[in-house]
Structure 1
Amino acid sequence: MTNAQPLRPVPVEPPRSAPDRHLLRRRLLAGIAAIVLAAAVGYGGWYMLVGATHVSTDNAYVGADSAQITPLISAPVKAVPVSDTQRVVRGDVLVELDDADTRIALARAEAEWQQARRQFERTVATSAALAGQVAAREAEIERARAQLVVAQANFDKAKIDLERRRNLAKGGAVSAEELTTATNAFTAAQANLTLARAGVTQAEAALAAAKGELSANEALVAGSTVDTDPAVAAARARLDQARLDQERTLIRAPVDGIVTRRQVQVGQRVAAGAPVMTIVPVDQLYVDANFKEGQLTKVRVGQKVTLVSDLYGPDVVYHGRVTGLAGGTGAAFALIPAQNATGNWIKVVQRLPVRVTLDPDELKAHPLRVGLSMDAEIDLSDADSLSDAD
């Protein structure tokens, strides 16, 4: 059996008097008032020093002018030496297309070009040959005219002989046989004269035809050389196009960046203009900060901007400048814009995208990616900003 300890009486505080309670309440209210006053003074000081000269938003996202890779010819895919998330530099081969068809087209275009050049040289040579034919036709005209002179002389002689025989035949001095012979000679001379005249006409027509052919041939080569002839130039253009198509079988990176959304596989036949991948230039990123319309009163191009990324937290601060304000709000260019003409609508504060460029050195030190969230704050007191008039 243990020894029980005697119970000690618990001291009881005497109740406070009413004056003490009122004093405690006054002190508590004074403390609360002091805290509220300090908060108000602090907010007022912050607004005067920072709030009135800065606007901020957490509705900001990283963007970039990405390069969409599309083949310019239709061909099967021979190789794809890159993959998603791979960094590439400008000029790297992204896709290699099968060049069997383009090589054949290039050989055909080169053969057509050579044929066009030879055809032009042949046309030039033909002009010389036609000039010789014109000279020959002129000589034929001279010969035909000489034959016409001879035929005319023979005709005149035969006519005189026939008239003389006819006069003598009336007195019986010429036999009938001699008269018949003179008549036949006159008829033959007349026929030869007609034939000589026809020969002159034919020679003149042949000369005109030769001159026409010469003029037509010279018109094909007039003012042209073997390199400036239209037919040769057209063949050269087809050759250049074939060479360009041959070069386009190798699709190269147009910018430095990261391969994204690769949509092509080996063996696939791609069509011209069909997107196969996207290159994101991560060294040339920008930020689109969506500010409320009431915050944009004093925002100007050129003002300094400080930004914080959710990726790195507040320990990494980016610096940039305002480079432009969008031409309209996001709602204005939405696929289904708001219809506010009905009358039963609720006014919603609109946001306008503000483009902010980033410091390239800071981007290299702390890389970002398209679509990441950012907090942006614009310094409205920046003296280096550009006015709208500029």
Structure 2
Amino acid sequence: MADAALETTDAQQEGRQSARKTWLTRLGLVVVIGGLLWAAWYLLVGRNHVSTDNAYVNAEMAQVTPLISAQATDVLVSDTQAVKKGDILVKLDPANARIAVAQAEADLAEARRRFRQTAATSDSLSAQVQARGADIVQARAQLATAQADFDKARVDLQRREALVGDGAVSGDEVTAARKGYAAARAALDLARAGVQTAQATRNAATGQLEANDALVRGSTIDTDPAVLAAQAKLDSAKLDLDRTVIRAPIDGVVTKRQVQVGQRVAQGSPIMTIVPLNQLYVDANFKERQLRDVKVGMTATVTSDLYGDDVVYHGKVVGFAGGTGSSMSLIPAQNATGNWIKVVQRLPLRIALDPRELAAHPLRVGLSMDVELDLSDK
């Protein structure tokens, strides 16, 4: 009996040891196969892919700012509302802008009137120059007459003075001849002065004509500098009037609306933001060690927590940020102390998404994303 019990115990121990060896062998095979599968996956797939869950949706958002200061009379949109480029967002009070347009139109009409007046003055001055030319001709004719009278008076005086000694002429005749000679000489001087006066008058009229012509020479009523300046002021006033109607600069969704009816908005102050949902992209923050083989143009697959793994977006790497997230922070890290510890940095990459996939499954700015890059796409 004792020998039979001992043999049974030994058989049980051998069975347990055999089962343990079989289990360990199977476990080892599973581990080896798993390792081989993992190695095969890494060699074929894993080493050609890098991924991160530190990624977020972003967009080039349009900030709407009024270009003039005025009171808001009508606000036609609200937050979360979709708008198209050119849709009216806000209307501002146009009263001051209309007054400015009316004033600019009056200034333009005045500038045109002054140009026409200046052009007409040139015609008048030209006629005056011609009239002064006629005065010079007349003065020269009078000078010639005075010169002839003076020559006759001089000859008559010489003749009479030559006959005084013979007693052929009386003293009264000589005196009269001398008086006539003096009068002729005075008339000659007056005629000469008249010619000079006429010439000076014509020169003055010519100068006025040239000065007036300089204001209109080479210009028309539409190209005159004063008219162009007035026209520019009118265009500016009309532009300010158009700016009383604020329109959407892009397609998108309104967010962060900060204007109410009756509020006076200041020029350049933001009143709302428009997010272009059809132009979203992903900023993915990869560890610096993951970027050794990453190039611009590589393909990427992106998933969102909003839709889960069932919806996969396809995109491409379009660029690297100019610095790491820590270097671009408001207060960059300072590593000049002696207790410096190396911290792995992350560099943002921009991933452009397929617009058709965005249209089918819209995203929103700020959503978290999972990004995987295919390094085999060289």
* Length-normalised TM-score, structure 1: 0.88
CA shift for structure 1 position 173? 4.1
1:94 pairs with 2:100: no
Aligned pairs for 1:155-166 within 5 A: 155-166=150-161
Aligned match of 2:312: 317
Q: How far does residue 297 in structure 1 lie from its aligned partner after superposition?
A: 1.8
**Of 375, 385, 388, which aligns to 2:370?**
375
Amino acid at match of 1:216: A
Cα distance in 2 for residues equivalent to 1:49 and 1:281? 39
Deviates more, 1:95-104 or 1:260-269: 260-269
What residue number does 2:101 align with?
106
Partner of 1:151: 146
SS of residue paired to 1:319: strand
Using the aligned pairs only, state the percent identity.
61
Q: Paired residue for 2:174, among 175, 179, 182?
A: 179
Q: Deviations over 1:230-277 (max 9, x none)?
A: 221111111111111111111100101011111112222222111111
Partner in structure 2 of residue 193 of structure 1: 188
Counterpart for residue 270 of structure 1: 265
Other structure's SS at 1:162 match: helix
Deviation at 1:368, TM superposition (A): 0.7
Query: Which residues of 2 match residues 222-371 of structure 1 at below 5 A?
Result: 222-371=217-366
1:49 has 2:40 as partner: no
- Letter paired with 2:369: M
CA distance in 2, matches of 1:268, 1:379: 52
Change (3 A) 1:186 1:320: same
Match of residue 116, structure 1, among 93, 111, 115:
111
Q: Distance in 2 between matches of 1:203 and 1:336?
A: 86
- 1:133 corresponds in structure 2 to 128
Of residues 246-255 and 75-84 in structure 1, the stretch that sits farther from structure 2 once superposed is 75-84
Task: Give the Cα separation in 2 of the matches to 1:307 and 1:291.
Answer: 14
How far did 1:28 drift? 5.1
Post-superposition shift, 1:25? 4.9
By how many angstroms is 1:31 displaced? 4.8
CA distance in 2, matches of 1:205, 1:15: 152
Q: Which has the higher helix share?
A: 2
State the distance in 2 between where 1:32 and 1:343 align: 50
Distance across 2 between alignment mates of 1:196 and 1:267: 82
CA distance in 2, matches of 1:185, 1:203: 26
State the shift of 1:222 in Å: 2.2
Distance (whole Å) between structure 2 residues aligned to residue 75 and residue 167 of structure 1? 102
Aligned partner of 2:332: which letter? P
Partner SS for 1:275: coil
| AA of the residue aligned to 2:283 | D
Point out where structure 1 has 5 or more consecutive residues left out of the alignment. 1-13, 386-390
Q: Distance in 1 between matches of 2:175 and 2:94?
A: 90
Deviation of 1:21 after TM superposition, in Å, equals 5.8
The whole-number CA distance in structure 1 between the counterparts of 2:78 and 2:165 is 122
TM-score (norm 2): 0.91
Q: Which moved more, 1:29-38 or 1:304-313?
A: 29-38
Q: Tell me, in whole angstroms, the C-alpha distance in 2 between the residues paired with 1:258 and 1:251.
A: 16
More displaced 10-residue stretch of structure 1: 241-250 or 40-49? 40-49
Q: 368-377 or 24-33: which moved more?
A: 24-33
| Structure 2: gaps spanning 5 or more residues | 1-7
CA RMSD of aligned residues (A): 2.2
**Corresponding residue for residue 4 of structure 2:** none
1:67 pairs with one of 49, 62, 65: 62
Output the amino acid matched with 1:43: W
Cα separation, 2, equivalents of 1:178 and 1:343? 132
Distance 1:343 1:225 in 2: 78
Paired AA for residue 307 in structure 2: Y
Structure 1 distance, partners of 2:367, 2:315, is 16
Task: Give per-residue Cα distances to partners, 1:119-139, cap 9 Å, x unaligned.
Answer: 222222222222222211111
Q: 1:163 Cα deviation (Å)?
A: 3.0
